[in-house]
């Protein structure tokens, strides 16, 4: 069984435009064979998803959200391919929902795992390894990796379940993004965000 790495998922996403979980599942099913995974996604998602990934997202919107009586504010840039979709109600609502989520999630630091600097990942892993030093040697690595994965769930926007879980059926931001990409037929990209908090 081949280990599925983040770089393999990214390569497949770049080639197909499919969502992160779709890519990960396709790679798991094809035992890491990228060519077979491309074929599998082509069968599952059709031409539409495979076309949008290669198109550059050069239009979009900047959404804002102010919370807690003006004590917390967020700006988020969400991009797409055309002005038509940028003005679409669902697209605008998604951007506002993402801004709301970031306002309620002070631990969020990065849009995707690819945005985490390697030295930051390494530093966190070293801390987790030290925390697991009193555990049996054969499980220390697994414990540290598990804690790193949890840290990435807390700090990476796309990995997080939307704070309004009931409204969004417990889906992650990435799943919501991929769904919107599928319904609009465009490459939807959360480009960047800033969260401001009074006194922070």
Start-end of H helices in the chain: 6-16, 20-29, 34-52, 83-86, 89-103, 118-131, 137-155, 173-184
| CA distance linking residue 138 with residue 144, whole number of Å | 12
pLDDT at 52: 53
**Residues 6 or more apart in contact with residue 113 via CB below 8 angstroms:** 6, 152, 156, 158, 159
C-alpha of 108 from chain center: 11
Q: What pLDDT, on a 0 to 100 scale, did the predictor assign at position 34?
A: 86
The tens place of each residue's pLDDT in the chain, 200 residues long, gives 678 888 888 888 777 767 777 888 889 999 989 888 888 877 776 655 555 555 567 789 999 999 878 899 999 999 998 888 899 999 999 999 999 999 999 999 999 998 999 998 889 988 888 888 888 888 888 888 899 999 998 999 999 999 988 888 899 999 999 999 888 888 899 999 999 999 87
CA distances, 91 to each of 1, 49, 94 (Å): 39, 17, 5
Q: Indicate left, alpha or beta for 171 from its phi (over 0: left) and psi (-120 to 50: alpha).
A: beta
- Report pTM: 0.69
pLDDT of residue 51: 53
What pLDDT does 50 receive? Answer: 53
Please report where in the chains the tokens 């319904």 appear, as a residue.
Answer: 183
- How far apart CA 58 and CA 13 sit, in angstroms, is 18
């Amino acid at each position: 069984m081949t280990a599925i790495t983040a770089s393999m998922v990214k390569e497949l996403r770049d080639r197909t435009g499919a969502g992160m979980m779709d890519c990960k599942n396709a790679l798991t099913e094809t035992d890491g064979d990228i060519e077979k995974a491309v074929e599998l996604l082509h069968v599952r998602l059709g031409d539409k998803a495979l076309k949008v990934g290669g198109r550059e997202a050069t239009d979009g919107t900047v959404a804002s959200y102010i919370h807690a009586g003006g004590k917390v504010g967020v700006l988020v840039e969400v991009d797409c391919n055309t002005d038509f979709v940028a003005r679409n109600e669902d697209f605008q609502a998604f951007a506002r929902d993402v801004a709301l989520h970031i306002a309620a999630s002070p631990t969020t630091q990065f849009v995707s795992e690819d945005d985490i600097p390697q030295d930051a990942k390494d530093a966190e892993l070293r801390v987790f390894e030290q925390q697991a030093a009193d555990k049996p040697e054969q499980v220390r690595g697994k414990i540290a990796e598990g804690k790193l994965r949890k840290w990435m769930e807390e700090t990476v926007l796309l990995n997080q379940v939307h704070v309004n879980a009931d409204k969004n059926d417990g889906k992650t931001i990435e799943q919501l993004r991929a769904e919107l990409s599928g319904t609009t037929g465009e490459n939807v990209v959360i480009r960047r965000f800033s969260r401001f908090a009074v006194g922070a």
